[in-house]
Amino acid sequence: MNLQIFQVDAFTKEVFRGNPAAVVPLSKWLDDQTMQRIAAENNLAETAFFVPKDDHYEIRWFTPLVEINLCGHATLGSAYVIFNCLHLEDQFIKFRSPISGELSVEKQGDVLVLDFPAYESTEVKISKDAAQAVGKTPKTMFETQGDMAMLVFENEAEIQNLAPDMSAVSALEYREIIVTARGDSADVVSRMFAPRV
């Protein structure tokens, strides 16, 4: 088997910054076990695989342990590879996921703009266990679809200084914990913890 594998640092213009993802262009789907083994060997948070179709690209995402429903930075990385390495001339890419449906990325100059589904969220009472697991009590907490929780903090420094206890995060009822706050030089900053994924 001979595959090209790209590593793309999303959300940055600087080397060794941003959020890395592996991207594997395919001409046809490999079996699930092979894709899972490739993702495990890449050992990045996510590896995206895509297959071109007539008017779209089918896409799937794997962590080193499991296939996941959706991954923003790996989709952005896939679009980057399609535009810049596979030299798509169009300014718009349509992806289809068997789990998440249709997703799109538009090239606007040097910027890639993703259009993703928005998850409904509900504000809930702050979980003492979640606050303890991330190491600080947030100002608010939300639960979203897909067993996720979002903890909102006051500022960027709080997000940067969090030192979560991953075994405690893993014991929570949530599959993913997102921590976020207003950014100093960006609109928002966030981190995500999902040790079981």
Please give the positions annotated as active site. 46
Q: CA 81 to CA 189: how far, in whole Å?
A: 25
Please name the residues in contact with 38: beta carbons below 8 A apart, sequence gap of 6 or more: 3, 5, 24, 30, 47, 49, 62
Phi, psi of 50 (to 5 degrees): -140, 155
**What does DSSP say about strands 101-108 and 111-115: parallel, antiparallel, or unpaired?**
antiparallel
H helix or E strand, kind and range, residue 155:
none
- Bridge partners (DSSP) of residue 115 are 104
